[in-house]
Amino acid sequence: MIQLYHVYKRYPNGIEALSDVNLRIGEGEFVFLTGASGAGKTTLVKILLAYERPTSGQVLVSGRNLGVLRASSVPFLRRNIGVVWQDFKLLNSRTVFDNVAISLEILGLRPKEIARRVSQILDVVGLEKYVQARPLQLSGGEQQRVAIARALVNEPAILLADEPTGNLDPDLSVEIMNLLLDLQQKGTTVMVATHDRFLLERYKKRTLLLNRGFLVEDTSGLETSFNAASLLDDDEEERKR
């Protein structure tokens, strides 16, 4: 479903965000992608969606070789991948309804069907009251849930969530995680980028650990990772400074 072979990503400023990353994520798997701030998590998410191209190496997503993907095929790739961006990327001039409905409108669904699906998913994330609100009238956690609803509404085969619980209190984080795990149970491949140790320790799922662009661990999640703990601690220290 997702495969990377010797993937490197060097940005124009010379920063090497990914170095020789090799990994394989099977259909229907749930994986955490972790690592300190700047380790390359968001870069990897962007590469999987063809928002960034690797400098070298190969990336396969749902049978598509992204290295040779034509620009005209990119929308088909993205149609099958739901994404929750770290900074949400909501349209602030549009209502919550419009933000969530957009992918269904692009697919050409009928307005009645769109309304049904949008209200169903807003119900799931607990935002049914806010259908007509604008994103900036909502709290950070509520905006995050709009972003999650938008990613899920067209039932994508793959869900990439970049710090999906970053702005949520622990109870809501657990609810969102349960939602993501439910999705996986139904067959969706889910990748959650996070440096939230609470999530990693609570759910014990396969965990990919990036350190300065290198994939330094790939564990089943059952064994507590000495490396992950120390790297994530560094990160917290850095943020306090």
Ligand X SMILES: Nc1ncnc2c1ncn2[C@@H]1O[C@H](COP(=O)(O)OP(=O)(O)OP(=O)(O)O)[C@@H](O)[C@H]1O
* Residues in contact with Mg ion by the rule CB under 5 A: 41-42, 86
Phi, psi at residue 48, to the nearest 5°? -65, -25
In the bound complex, what is the minimum distance in angstroms from residue 63's beta carbon to Mg ion? 27
* CA distance linking residue 1 with residue 112, whole number of Å: 33
Beta carbon nearer to Mg ion, 41 or 145: 41
Q: Which is nearer to Mg ion, 154 or 165 (CB)?
A: 165
Among 42, 99, 154, 189, indicate the residue that binds ligand X (CB under 6 A): 42
Nearest distance from C-beta of residue 47 to Mg ion, angstroms = 13
Which of the residues 197 through 216 are near ligand X (CB under 6 A)? none
Nearer to ligand X, 87 or 123 (CB): 87
Quick one: which of 2, 4, 7, 17 contacts ligand X (CB under 6 A)? 17
Shortest Cβ 239–Mg ion spacing (Å): 13
Residue whose CB is less far from ligand X, 40 or 156 = 40
User: Do residues 7 and 61 make contact, with C-beta atoms less than 8 angstroms apart?
Assistant: no
Q: How far is the CB of 7 from ligand X (least distance, A)?
A: 13
Closest CA to 23 of 36, 38, 10, 33: 33
Output 104 or 213, the one with its CB closest to Mg ion.
213
What is the C-alpha end-to-end distance of the chain, expressed in Å?
Answer: 40
Instruction: Tell me which stretch binds ligand X (CB under 6 A): 21-29, 38-46, 106-114, 153-161.
Output: 38-46
**Closest to 18 in 3D by CA, of 46, 169, 29, 60:** 46
Q: CA–CA separation, 52 vs 11, rounded Å?
A: 9
Closest CB to Mg ion: residue number:
42
Q: Which region among 21-29, 33-41, 151-159, 200-208 touches ligand X (by CB under 6 A)?
A: 33-41
Segment lying near ligand X (by CB under 6 A), choices 12-20, 55-63, 92-100, 144-152: 12-20
57 binding partner (options Mg ion, ligand X, none; Cβ < 5 to 8 Å by kind)? none
CB < 8 Å & 24+ apart, contacts of 140-146: 140/167, 141/167, 141/168, 141/169, 141/172, 143/88, 143/90, 143/167, 144/84, 144/88, 144/168, 145/172, 145/176, 146/88, 146/90, 146/96, 146/99, 146/100
Binding residues vs ligand X (CB under 6 A): 11, 13, 15, 17, 35, 37-43, 86, 195
